[in-house]
Amino acid sequence: MIYLGFYDVVEVTVYKMVCKVMQDRHQQPYTMWIFTACTIAVLASTLGSVAANGSAEACTSFKLNIPGVSLNGTTHFPANALVALTTFQSSINTTDLPAFCRLQLVLTTNATARSTAQTEVWLPDTWNGRFLALGNGGLSGGVNVADLGNLGVKQGFAGISTDTGHESGSNDGTWGGPHNDNAIIDFGFRAMHMSVVSGKEVVQQYYRQGIKKSYYLGCSTGGRQGLKEVQEFPDDFDGVVVGSPANWMTHLQAWSMHVNLEVLPTTSPRFIPENLWTDVIAAEVLKQCDALDGLSDGIISDPRICSFRPETLTCRPNQNTSTCLTSPQIFALHHIYSDYFEANQTYVFGSYYPGGETGFFGGLTGSNPFPIPAQYFAFFVLNDTSFGTFDYNPEVLRVADEVDPGQFNAITPNISAFAGPSHKGKVIQYVGWADQLISPGNSIHYYETVHRFMTENTEMDIDDFYRLFTVGGMQHWYGGAGATSFGAANDVQPALSDDAQHNVLAAMVRWVEEGVAPDNFTAAHYNGGDASQGVQFTRPICKYPLSSRFVGGDPNSADSFECALLT
């Protein structure tokens, strides 16, 4: 058997380029070395399309040879073995994974500061030739073992994930300071990028074969990480899938506090108890807007066409206030459902959208402030550990924009280096209209800024490299009243199938490797939110700006819907 290592693949790539140039220029006859190089190039391409194999022996005997990277653990899991692992990011407890090798690495991210990141590479015994990096969530520092297993090795990918240089829960930012700049930079971009570079080399050393294509999948913080890679390290990936990205961190955290303060403190007349959200407001929103997509099913397909009027819930004299809204509560609702602007009509962030009310109290309108924003400003921006939600004011946002700690923001609209003719990278982005932690408007805002910039400055068509999909009834990450299982990041409920129509990662692979771009997906909603209980209904997920509209037939079947521009 012939093996091509990393440097062999690089050399073959160079030879292929030379062959192409000589063919184009009709320079014949070829010399013997050119002929041999072309032969090797063809062989390398053939090998790249054939699944490579690992084994228990290859795993346990693997020796790593990468400067600044050490091997901290090696474990081979046979097929259907119990894989029970927990990190600060996620957990996995399953017996349905194929055989794979788990490599635990320690990467030096800054030798002078002695900062490191823990990174894992999971290598299936039967490899599909592709590389997959997986993102994180919140402020957590932990390897995403759930996605490495459920979305990575289960589909044949060699996968990597990193703790981003620290260990913490998703709501804990104390690791950032005061003044722990190296950890903040690692979290911002460095640990992920270095893990990708090192992870690719590990994969090629392990299989002794080049990587066919490289992909990324992540949501929330993971979405921010993916867009950061697109903008700053365009050669890292061929295809990037991001969900509801936290990519405008300075403004996201300001908006989160803004929404908190619309209803807090709990003694404020503006405060809206949970039962009002779930039993009163949610029901009225559906009454006013549910049927606008052609079907009353508890799902608002496109809340942009819902002109919700909370005034219909105004309390009458002597009415029980647990069944209606007071004027201060209605005032707060109008602010919550509106984009956030500051002085001089400066746009800050999007809004909550009608249709996600059952999740809002557990998001940003609950009785306690959502913890991440205060942690972000206290430990990353201001280095003032006494800072809290009620200390927020527009000056804090101004300082955050000026500092942008760790270069967290990933809002650059120019992605020409990634998507242009020299690389031809692809982006699929998705967001749930019922997102309770990051306004769906943020996804639309970034997509449209890219659309505008690339149209003004290039001849490229955004549909050729970047597609956004909106999901009716979907909350942050996954879940909600809608059909939300389609292979999304961190969703433990599987897609109906791993084909490109039902699985967003498979759709990206087909787009990159076959040139077939997705126009829609078919997602599932399982009974009780559990795939083992069977499918309750399916729905199409449509490419923005289209949304699903019922056209007749079985309301539980995606075939009864079309993607249309709702008005």
pLDDT digits (tens, 9 = 90+) for 106-118: 999 999 999 999 9
Single out the catalytic residue among 297, 435, 443, 525. 435
pLDDT digits (tens, 9 = 90+) for 283-295: 999 999 999 999 9
- Bridge partners for 340 per DSSP: 349
Please, which residues have CB within 8 angstroms of residue 525's CB and are 6 or more apart in sequence? 481, 482, 483, 484, 485, 535, 536, 537, 538, 539
Give backbone dihedrals phi and psi of 535, rounded to 5 degrees, phi first.
-85, 130
SS3 52: strand
Q: Is the pTM of this model over 0.85?
A: yes
- Note the residue count of the chain: 567
pLDDT of residue 343: 87
Please, which residues have CB within 8 angstroms of residue 476's CB and are 6 or more apart in sequence? 220, 244, 359, 363, 432, 435, 436, 437, 438
SS3 458: coil
Single out the catalytic residue among 476, 525, 547, 560. 476
Q: How far is CA 261 from CA 332, 356, 365, in A?
A: 9, 19, 8
Single out the catalytic residue among 168, 195, 220, 351. 220
Nearest residue to 472 (alpha-carbon basis) of 368, 547, 403, 379: 547
353 and 304 Cβ atoms separated by less than 8 Å: yes
Nearest residue to 339 (alpha-carbon basis) of 405, 404, 251: 251
Q: Is 463 exposed, middle or buried (0-12, 13-18, 19+ CB in 10 A)?
A: exposed
Tens of pLDDT along the chain (567 residues) come to 233 333 344 334 433 443 444 344 333 333 333 333 343 333 334 334 445 789 999 999 999 999 999 999 999 999 999 999 999 999 999 999 999 999 999 999 999 999 999 999 999 999 999 999 999 999 999 999 999 999 999 999 999 999 999 999 999 999 998 899 999 999 999 999 999 999 999 999 999 999 999 999 999 999 999 999 999 999 999 999 999 999 999 999 999 999 999 999 999 999 999 999 999 999 999 999 999 999 999 999 999 999 999 999 999 999 999 999 999 999 999 999 999 999 889 999 999 999 999 999 999 999 999 999 999 999 999 999 999 999 999 999 999 999 999 999 999 999 999 999 999 999 999 999 999 999 999 999 999 999 999 999 999 999 999 999 999 999 999 999 999 999 999 998 999 999 999 999 999 999 999 999 999 999 999 999 999 999 999 999 999 999 999 999 999 999 999 999 998
DSSP assignment of 145-180, as one string? HHHIIIIIGGGT-EEEEE-TT--B-TT--GGGTTT-
Q: For this structure, is 435 an active site residue?
A: yes
Q: For this structure, is 476 an active site residue?
A: yes
Nearest residue to 449 (alpha-carbon basis) of 481, 478, 409: 409
